[in-house]
């Protein structure tokens, strides 16, 4: 569940969840049983021969989406899902320009690496048609929490960097790899409006924020009051099984009928069976509610810790997708990179595993399995408190 064990049998509290992937918990019996039983029945056939598992999961997944988002394409990862989404946007609009956010991460293939906007994750490859907008970061951004001021940069990119028509805009609701950065309020509605006026599609990357992780909503974009044209997902969708998906409208999906679109393992019976089991567990065990309750408690305790230690510059996020940014100077917001590594190692010695992210590598990424308890949250914060008191 929320624990991991090393080769000597020592238990660790997993507050990272395999990079926000393990949502139900490690080795959840209902998910494991579904995978084992499907493996005994048939392991692989490809979607050339439709299997009940892919149809059942697609139907269940579509039922969780708003509006007319009801056509599902399965992939093996978030990178594949985002690649497919951007290709569909280009085919549907007839345009090639894609706008994404600085500090974003969307994958490590050619197209998604272009959309990614952090040098730490980019090789020197050609990335034509990509435009990176100013990040609407309430903590480090130039306009604070004024989302509409940041949104003007997207309109400027359209006006001065393109023909006036674009293929689309892609963003996370909360930047994961970027350091659990929430988008400034009012940003997405304004940007979606600009993109759609330019003929583009709006893509929501829910690879990390989706599947109830933020607690208040099942999908991260819902907290912004927008409805995307395409939604991509992976990680939490399979609780560790290699699985991703793209969900869109019938009109947009039709562009893939112009040629033969194929993915050998996309829609694999074992993977889609796992996905359906994950959805069932999230609902049966009320994990979205737990993410909200436990996440609120954890964020409150972390915020109290910030009052105690000057090294904590910011606590942010929603549900069980939280970030703690360490700085050596609160006013200058100087990244505390060495100190972050030190605390991370000390936490591991105390039996707690957390992630690390952000452009400067100075943000703790706290994305545990959604079965995390208040006791787990207290132990995590107490371990962090103890470590910082010794610095």
Distance CA 145, CA 154 (A): 16
317-330 mean pLDDT: 98
User: 48: pLDDT confidence band, cut at 50, 70 and 90?
Assistant: confident
Buried b (16+ CB within 10 A) or exposed e, 256-288: beeeeeebebbbbbbbbbbbbbbbebbeebebb
Query: Which of 143, 125, 124 is CA-nearest to residue 133?
Result: 143
Question: Can you give the residue ranges of every domain in the chain?
Answer: 29-285, 286-389
Asked: is 29-285 a CATH 3.40.640.10 domain? The reply is: yes
107-115 mean pLDDT: 95
User: 21: pLDDT confidence band, cut at 50, 70 and 90?
Assistant: very high
- The tokens 């963003």 sit on which residue? 171
The whole-number pLDDT of residue 124 equals 93
Asked: is 286-389 a CATH 3.90.1150.10 domain? The reply is: yes
Say how many C-beta atoms besides its own lie within 10 A of residue 297's C-beta.
16
Query: pLDDT tens for residues 28-39?
Result: 999 999 999 999
- Residue 368 confidence (pLDDT) above 90: yes
Distance CA 275, CA 280 (A): 9
User: 279: pLDDT confidence band, cut at 50, 70 and 90?
Assistant: very high
pTM: 0.96
How does the average pLDDT of the chain come out, rounded? Answer: 97
The whole-number pLDDT of residue 263 equals 92
- Residue 378 confidence (pLDDT) above 90: yes
- Residue 202 confidence (pLDDT) above 90: yes
User: 118: pLDDT confidence band, cut at 50, 70 and 90?
Assistant: very high
The whole-number pLDDT of residue 50 equals 85
Give the rounded percent of residues in the chain with a pLDDT score beyond 70. 100
Query: pLDDT tens for residues 120-130?
Result: 999 998 888 99
Say how many C-beta atoms besides its own lie within 10 A of residue 290's C-beta.
21
């Amino acid at each position: 569940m929320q624990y991991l064990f090393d080769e000597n049998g020592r238990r660790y509290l997993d507050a990272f969840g395999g990079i926000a992937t393990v949502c139900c918990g490690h080795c959840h019996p209902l998910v494991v049983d579904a995978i084992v039983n499907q493996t005994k029945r048939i392991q692989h056939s490809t979607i050339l021969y439709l299997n009940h598992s892919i149809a059942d999961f697609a139907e269940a997944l579509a039922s969780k989406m708003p509006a007319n988002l009801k056509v599902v394409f399965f992939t093996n990862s978030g990178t594949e899902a985002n690649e497919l989404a951007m290709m569909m946007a280009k085919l549907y609009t007839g345009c090639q320009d894609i706008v994404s956010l600085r500090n974003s991460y969307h994958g490590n293939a050619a197209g998604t690496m272009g959309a990614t906007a952090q040098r730490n994750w980019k090789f020197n490859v050609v990335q034509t048609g990509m435009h990176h907008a100013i990040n609407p970061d309430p903590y480090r951004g130039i306009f604070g929490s004024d989302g509409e001021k940041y949104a003007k940069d997207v309109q400027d990119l359209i006006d001065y960097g393109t023909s006036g028509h674009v293929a689309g805009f892609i963003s996370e609701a909360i930047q994961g790899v970027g350091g659990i950065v929430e988008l400034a309020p009012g940003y997405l509605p304004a940007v979606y409006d600009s993109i759609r006026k330019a003929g583009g599609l709006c893509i929501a990357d829910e690879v990390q924020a989706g599947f109830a992780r933020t607690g208040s909503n099942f999908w991260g974009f819902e907290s912004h009051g927008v409805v995307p044209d395409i939604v991509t997902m992976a990680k939490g969708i399979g609780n560790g099984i290699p699985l991703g998906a793209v969900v869109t409208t019938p009109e947009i999906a039709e562009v893939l009928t112009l040629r033969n679109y194929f993915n050998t393992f996309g829609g694999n019976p074992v993977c889609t069976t796992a996905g359906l089991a994950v959805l069932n567990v999230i609902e049966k065990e009320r994990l979205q509610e737990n993410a909200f309750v436990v996440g609120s408690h954890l964020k409150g305790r972390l915020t109290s810790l910030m009052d105690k230690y000057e090294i904590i510059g910011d606590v942010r996020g929603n549900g069980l997708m939280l970030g703690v940014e360490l700085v050596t100077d609160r006013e200058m917001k100087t990244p505390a990179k060495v100190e972050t590594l030190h605390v991370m190692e000390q936490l591991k010695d105390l039996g707690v595993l957390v992630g690390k992210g952000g452009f400067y590598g100075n943000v703790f990424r706290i994305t545990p399995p959604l079965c995390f308890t208040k006791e787990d949250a207290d132990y995590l914060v107490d371990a962090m408190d103890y470590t910082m008191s010794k610095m």
